[in-house]
Structures are given as structure tokens and as C-alpha cells.
Chain A
Amino acid sequence: MNLNKIYPQYFIFPALALYILLFIIPGLIGIYYSFTDWNRYSSEINFIGLENYKTIFNAGSSYFSYIYNTLRFTVVSNIVKIIPALFLAIFLSENLKGENIHRAILFFPSILSYLVIGIIFRSILHPQGLVNNILRTVGLGFMAKAWLADPKWVWSSIYAVDAWRGIGYVMTIFIAGLHSIPRYYYEAADIDGAGFFQKLIHITLPMLRPAITVNLVFGITYGLRVFDIIFVLTNGGPGRMTEVINTGVFKEFALGTYGIGSALSTILFVFLGFISIFLVRLMNRREIEL
């Protein structure tokens, strides 16, 4: 049978056309704009070479800290989610009574909008908010503080909110992975007298590799592209302490300095471009091995 007749190439066209027009082309044009001084206040767009990048990578510039903050957020937010989520997944896969309910509850925040979660925690972490109220009630009033305005605590607060939202999701992926591990592996290990950590290292972790890959792929891309939660919780403050690339791009957009904004976006594009080539390979390797 003629494959082209049954499976016409034009079936791909609508999806591909939208994807190229509204996703790929902006990415490519953005690279071009990153070499220009495009801004709202002049009608001309001049090519200025690497000027924008020089501004950004000038070690003393605040832009440089956006990049640093983005990378740090990606690393830390993933560590504080993935490791606890792994133990939670194991904990909630041991036939505990009502574990399905606990799983559903822990998963629930991940279906809500970051915007909503950001606003809820703006209230909870408010100087007069729930956290401080509880601390005062139990006699720890000296610990009460403006969590989102205190330079010492603002990042920890962001990580905590992000973990509160995301741990259940990471955990659910691990649980799906745990279910695919045959029980007799553990039974055999028990007979050999293996302890919890031996089983973890020799059975669970190697068998969970697909789930770990998925969590890393989603976690890394999420971390580098983070916007909503920081925009709503701190809007980059106090000062510019918690500004990340995407909140920075929005600031430049609002200021009308499109050239610099495009350069920041392009840096993110290049980062993720390289990483995704690596991640796609990782995903493919998994498919071949299993």
C-alpha cells in the first residue's frame, strides 16, 4: 500500500505551522533582536553587535545576578523537591492505611495555578500572616519576620512555597515508577538480609531511572523557565535579590528596552537548547534499554 496515500504528510501541517509561526520563529527572531538596540522610544532598530551581551555579562551588573539566581533556583529547588519526594513515595507505597487519600492530597497543589498559590502564600507569609501568628502563639514570637521581604529568608521562603506546590507531583511520578518494580526483587533481597538503604541503592534507585529522568527533565526546564511564582511572591524583590531571567525579561518588556530583554531571553534559549539536546538523548537511551 502507498503510505503517502493513507498517511498524508499534510496532516502534520496545521500543528507544525502553528508551532513554527508562534514558537520557533519568535525564538529565532529574538536572537536577531538581541543584537540590536530595539526599544520603545525610537522607531529605528540599529544593529549593535554584542553590546547587550556585554552589558549582561558585566560581572557587576544586576543582569548577571538574574542568570546566577536562575541557575541557583534550578539546582536548589530540584534538590529540595526530588530527595524528599523520593522518600515520600517510598513511604506512601508500603500499604499504609488510607495512603491513596494522602497521595491525592499531596498531589493536589500541583494542579493549581502558580498565581493562586503565590497569592495564598503572600497572605500566609505576611508579617501579620498565619506563620507568624502560629509562631507567636507557641512562644516563638522572636522568629516572626517579614518572610518575603527579609533578604536572609526570602529565598528559603520561595523554595518552601515551591516545594509545597511541587513535591506531590514529583512524588507521584516516583510512585508510578515504584509500581513498575517487581515485588520479588525485594523479597529476594529480604531473604539475603538486605537493609533499607541497601535495597534503596541496589534495587529502587536503578529501577527508578526512568522516573528520575522524567523528574529531572521537568524539574530542570521548569527551574530555568521559572516566572509566575517569583513574580507573584516577590516580584524580584527585596531590591533585585530574587530576580530571575524570566522576571527580568518581563521588566525589560515593561520598560520598553526590548533589545536587552531579547538578549536575556536568548541566553535562556541557548541554555535550554543545549540542555534539551542532552535530555532528549537521555530519554531516548532509556527507551532503547528497557
Chain B
Amino acid sequence: MNLRKKKVIEILKQFIACILSGIVILPFIVVVINSFKTESEAALMDLTLPTKFIWENYSIAVERGKLVTSFFNSTLYSVSATAISIIINSMAAFVLSRKRTQWNLFLYIFIILGIMLPTNYIALIKIMQTLHLLNSRLGVILLYSAMNVSFGTFILYGFVGTIPRELDEAGVIDGANPWQLFFRVVFPLLKPALVTVALLTFMGIWNDFMIPLYVLNRSSQWPMTLAVYNFFGQYQSEWNLIFADIVLTCLPVFIVYLLGQKQIVSGMTAGAIKG
């Protein structure tokens, strides 16, 4: 009797879990299915399979949405800013964590406040204009690097503390200068944390939409998010094309998620346990 009751509860729980997962998956099924339909079929917004799979939707979306250029832009922005971020943030985190003077503690808190503070976009535009960084790819890359200083330094600071100081001392005795010590000894040991920070920074930039909205006017410089948004405005009723566009935009992030799920989750939940 008790065993039977347990089994019923188990099945009930399984059922609830599947319903919940279903609610999350359903919208994605809608997107994928409808991306293969004709315009009139997609307008019905139902869950039936397309009568005929129209692969051309994808090539039309790529062409009309100028997705090749924007894919290149997104890749350029996310890869460059991620590379800059992990280098400058790990350097800063290294010294801030190793040399805990009063002044450095202040600098550290000053930097991590940026995780919470909002950006003042209007004034930012003015500054970018003065520096000739508005409507420039370099400007976007530097801006993304700046926006990621707080979070990157925060995660890496915690990780530097787990690397034994004796290694630094051994390196110095072997005659390494600070650059060699950092890049040859410490940097490689930071790898797990660097991977986490790199993945999160990459995805954050790939998904971002607000910065290009403010600082990029020329469509030739738009990343995928802004291109998709514009495409959505232009072809409001052609859901099949919009969905094809969405699938293509999500694909890189999806692949990155599959490859680095563990690191991504550990980075996003950093601090949930202790310290």
C-alpha cells in the first residue's frame, strides 16, 4: 500500500515536471515549426507541422535581414571585447587580490559597484562623440570591455585567492618579471575561471541590444540583435521569416551553451554558496 502510494506520487511529480518543461519548450517549438512554413500558414500560429518544409525562408531571411554582415559584426564585437575583458580584468583582479592594501580594497569595491549601477546612456553618447568613438566598431568594442570590467573582476578576484602565493614567490626567485609571472604562471592557472568569464561575457555581448541601439546608427555596423529587431519591424506579418531570423540569431548562443553548460551555470550562480 505504502509502496503503491509512493509510486503514484512519483508519477504525479514526474507529470508536473514534464508540464513545466513543456511550458518552457513550447514557444521554441512554435518558432522552429513556423520558420519552415509559408507566410499564410505561419500566420495561423498553430502547432501543426508545415505541409511542406520551406528551407528558402532561411536564405531569404539571411539576405533581406543582411544577416551575414551582422553575424560578422556580432562575432567581431563579442570575440574582441571578450578577449580584452579577460586580459585586463584578470590583471586587475590579480593585483587587487594579492596586494590587499586599504587603497586597493577601496578600488575593488569601487569597481564591483558597477555590477549594480546603471549606465547613463545619454551622457555616454556625449563622451563617445567627444572621443570620436560614436558609430565606430572600435568604440563598441571598448564600450563592451568597459561594461564588463565589474563582473569579470569580481569573479576573477575570488578565483585568484585560491591560487597559492608560493607559486608567485617561486616564480620571482626563478627571475620572472611581473609580466612573465602573471602570463606564464598565474594566467594559465586561472583557466577555469577565465573560461567561465569568457563564456558569460561572450553571451552577454551577443545578446545585448541596448548599446547598439544607442551608439550605432549605420546598419552596416549592426550586430545580429539589432538587425533582427529592425527586420521584425519591417516584416511584421511575415512570421515565417522572422522566426527563421530568430533561429539563426539564437543558434550561436545555443551552441556555446551546449559546449560550456557547466562553466556557464557555475559562473551565473557564483556566490550562491559561500564567498
* B143 CB contacts on chain A under 8 angstroms: 22
- Residue among A23, A33, A122 having the largest count of chain B Cβ atoms under 10 Å: A23
* B257 CB contacts on chain A under 8 angstroms: 108, 111
Do the beta carbons of A33 and B122 come within 8 Å of each other? yes
Which 7 pairs across A and B sit closest by C-beta, in order of nearness? A30-B120, A113-B207, A30-B123, A22-B146, A276-B116, A15-B92, A26-B124
Within 8 A of B (CB), among A10-55: 11-12, 14-16, 18-19, 21-27, 29-30, 33
* Known contacts A102-B20, A279-B116; is-contact A287 B275 (Cβ 8 Å): yes
Do the beta carbons of A19 and B146 come within 8 Å of each other? yes
Instruction: Name A's B-contacting residues (CB within 8 A).
Output: 1, 3-9, 11-12, 14-16, 18-19, 21-27, 29-30, 33, 88, 91-92, 94, 96-99, 101-102, 104-116, 119-124, 126, 128-130, 133, 164, 168-169, 172-174, 176-177, 179-180, 210-211, 214, 217, 221, 224-225, 227-228, 232, 246, 249-250, 252-253, 258, 261-262, 265-266, 268-269, 272-273, 275-276, 279-280, 283, 286-287, 290
B8 at the interface (CB under 8 A from A): no
B82 at the interface (CB under 8 A from A): no
Do the beta carbons of B91 and A12 come within 8 Å of each other? yes
* A1 CB contacts on chain B under 8 angstroms: 169, 172
Cross-interface CB contact of B88 among A18, A22, A104, cutoff 8 Å: A18
Complexed CA–CA distance, A179 and B272 (Å) = 10
Do the beta carbons of B149 and A19 come within 8 Å of each other? yes
* A283 CB contacts on chain B under 8 angstroms: 271
Do the beta carbons of B209 and A228 come within 8 Å of each other? yes
Do the beta carbons of A262 and B122 come within 8 Å of each other? yes
Complexed CA–CA distance, A5 and B178 (Å) = 7
Do the beta carbons of A12 and B117 come within 8 Å of each other? no
Do the beta carbons of B253 and A111 come within 8 Å of each other? yes
B118 at the interface (CB under 8 A from A): yes
Do the beta carbons of A21 and B146 come within 8 Å of each other? yes
B257 nearest CB neighbor, chain A only: A111
* Known contacts A26-B119, A26-B124, A120-B27; is-contact A176 B146 (Cβ 8 Å): no
Do the beta carbons of B45 and A116 come within 8 Å of each other? no
Do the beta carbons of B123 and A33 come within 8 Å of each other? yes
**Is chain B's interface secondary structure helix, strand, loop, or mixed overall?**
helix
B105 to chain A, nearest CB (A): 11
Complexed CA–CA distance, A180 and B275 (Å) = 13
Cross-interface CB contact of B14 among A97, A110, A115, A133, cutoff 8 Å: A97
* Known contacts A19-B114, A33-B123; is-contact A286 B91 (Cβ 8 Å): no
Complexed CA–CA distance, A97 and B109 (Å) = 43
B27 nearest CB neighbor, chain A only: A120
A8 nearest CB neighbor, chain B only: B178
Do the beta carbons of B109 and A111 come within 8 Å of each other? no
Q: Of the listed stretches B55-63, B190-198, B260-268, name the one at the interface; the rest are far from the partner chain.
A: B260-268
Other than the given A11-B92, A25-B127, A252-B122, 5 more pairs (CB < 8 A) read: A1-B172, A98-B17, A101-B21, A123-B242, A283-B271
B133 to chain A, nearest CB (A): 9
Do the beta carbons of A119 and B246 come within 8 Å of each other? yes
Question: Contact string, B78-113, partner A, CB cutoff 8 A, digits 1/0?
Answer: 000000000011011011101100001001010111
B163 at the interface (CB under 8 A from A): no
Complexed CA–CA distance, A116 and B254 (Å) = 13
* B201 CB contacts on chain A under 8 angstroms: none
Complexed CA–CA distance, A232 and B145 (Å) = 25
B181 nearest CB neighbor, chain A only: A6
Cross-interface CB contact of A168 among B16, B24, B43, B150, cutoff 8 Å: B24
- Residue among A101, A168, A173, A221 having the largest count of chain B Cβ atoms under 10 Å: A173
B103 to chain A, nearest CB (A): 9
